[in-house]
Structure 1
Amino acid sequence: MTKIVKMEIPKIPPNLQSGNFHDMYHDEDPYLSNCMFTNKSVDNEEFERAVLSKVVFKNVTFNHTSFRKIDITDVVFENCDLSNASFSEGIIHRVKFKECKLMGVDFTEANLVHVSFEKSIAKWSNFADARLKQVVFRESSLQSANYPDCKLIKVKFSQCDINDIDFSQTLLNGIDISTCTFERINISLEKLEGCEVSPDQAIGFARLLGLKIKK
């Protein structure tokens, strides 16, 4: 039976004021709160250990920008380009990525709770050794994304392209991929028990186990 993933949405106050990235450049501990950024470009920057709270980013580019060890709560990224950005070792809570480019984004060893990825392109993204709890991927491209040695708790993949995704050494018990599409997938068969799949997907996994399917 499919488990319902109950999500907390970002708590964004009304009437946010326009923010200024210069506040982050000059602070030893970069911090942004209660502000909005629209149509900005912040590429190739480093904001290690930054703290973001109650912030909205719309049409902002963060190509190759490092947010390593970030602490981020109640934030929305909408139509943003975060290709090759790094959130490694970050704490990410109540965050929405909507219609974003996340190609090659790095979430290694990050802790994600109540995070949604909606209609986004996250090809080659890296979640190695990350912990995901109450996270939803919806109508997104996750081709060749990496999830090895992840801890997945109440995570849902809904109508996503997961071709060539890497789930090696990741326990998939209770994870629903039945509405997703793929031709190839990298999994550890001993970790597959309890994964929810469609009938056609089940036939493919049976072949991986060496079973011969009679018609």
Structure 2
Amino acid sequence: MTSAFKITKPKMPSALSDGAFSQLEDDRLMMSRVSDCEIFGEERSNLCFDQVLFKNVTFSEISFQHMELTDCIFEKCDLSNADFSDAIIHRVEFNDCKLLGLNLSGATLSNALFQNCHADFSAFGYGNFKQVKFKSCSLQSADFYECKVKKIAFEYCDLNKANFVSTPLHGIDLSSCSFSKLSVSMELLEGCEVSSAQAIGFVQLLGLKIKE
């Protein structure tokens, strides 16, 4: 199973200068590599990161509301419980990251890739998704409440107990994903692609009993 659209990769320069969060100028950091460090206890808004590689960075007790991320890559970072609500995220990759409880509620994401990430209990509610892919991610109990979606893909993800209430699932293929329970709005389920085993679960959500 593959998605019918491609994600545009971040446009990174061939060389990046070593950078640090303390080097922000006018709340902006550009064309930098931030690695092997911890960013702790920062509460800022309207930050802008452009062409930045974050590698092995731990974000602890962080609130970066209304942040802009453009052409950025996060590799093996820990963003657990970080508050990135209402962020604008464009051409960004999260690879092998720990995203437990990450708050991206109200965020706008376009051409974003989440790959091999542990994102249980993450919050995406009221988000706007356009060309976004989750690949081989754990999204148990993740919240996608009342999202606007256009070209979103879930490939080989664990979606158990994820919440898609008030989010239209038309054209979304969940057949490669695993879950025993999913919260959805039945009136917005039409056109969602599922496996035959998953379909039985949705039939049970309707209160129907299946005879063998």
State the TM bucket, normalised to the shorter chain: over 0.9
Deviation at 1:2, TM superposition (A): 7.3
Deviation at 1:5, TM superposition (A): 2.2
Q: In the alignment, residue 30 of structure 1 is paired with which amino acid? A: D
Distance 2:57 2:190 in 1: 41
1:142 aligns with one of 139, 142, 154: 139
TM-score normalized by structure 2? Answer: 0.96
Report if the CA contact (8 A) 1:32-1:51 is conserved.
yes
User: SS state of the match for residue 47, structure 1?
Assistant: strand
Distance 2:41 2:142 in 1: 22
User: SS state of the match for residue 203, structure 1?
Assistant: helix
Q: Does 1:198 align with 2:157?
A: no
Distance 1:44 1:188 in 2: 38
Distance 2:61 2:71 in 1: 23
Distance 1:124 1:99 in 2: 17
Q: Which residue of 1 aligns with 2:75?
A: 78
Which residues of 2 match residues 148-187 of structure 1 at below 5 A?
148-187=145-184
Deviation at 1:161, TM superposition (A): 0.5
Distance 1:14 1:21 in 2: 21
Q: How many percent identity over aligned positions?
A: 45
Distance 1:116 1:2 in 2: 14
Distance 2:132 2:116 in 1: 14
Report if the CA contact (8 A) 2:160-2:178 is conserved.
yes
Report if the CA contact (8 A) 1:2-1:174 is conserved.
no
Point out the more displaced range, 73-82 or 35-44. 35-44
Which residues of 2 match residues 55-134 of structure 1 at below 5 A?
55-134=52-131
Distance 1:49 1:152 in 2: 24
Q: Which residue of 1 aligns with 2:17?
A: 17
Report if the CA contact (8 A) 2:49-2:69 is conserved.
yes
- Identify, as 1 or 2, the structure richer in strand: 2
Distance 2:57 2:43 in 1: 16
User: SS state of the match for residue 67, structure 1?
Assistant: strand
Cα RMSD (Å):
1.4
User: SS state of the match for residue 98, structure 2?
Assistant: coil
Q: Which residue of 1 aligns with 2:27?
A: 30
Report if the CA contact (8 A) 1:3-1:174 is conserved.
no
User: SS state of the match for residue 100, structure 2?
Assistant: coil
Deviation at 1:212, TM superposition (A): 2.6
Deviation at 1:3, TM superposition (A): 5.3
- CA offset digits 1:162-213 (Å, max 9, x no partner): 0010001111001111100011111111111111101100111111112232
Q: In the alignment, residue 96 of structure 1 is paired with which amino acid? A: E
User: SS state of the match for residue 69, structure 2?
Assistant: strand
- CA offset digits 1:60-89 (Å, max 9, x no partner): 001221121011100000000000111111
Point out the more displaced range, 205-214 or 36-45. 205-214
Q: In the alignment, residue 207 of structure 1 is paired with which amino acid? A: Q
Q: In the alignment, residue 213 of structure 1 is paired with which amino acid? A: I
Deviation at 1:38, TM superposition (A): 1.1
Aligned length: 212
Report if the CA contact (8 A) 1:64-1:82 is conserved.
no
- CA offset digits 1:110-164 (Å, max 9, x no partner): 1000000000000110011000110000001000000100011110000000001
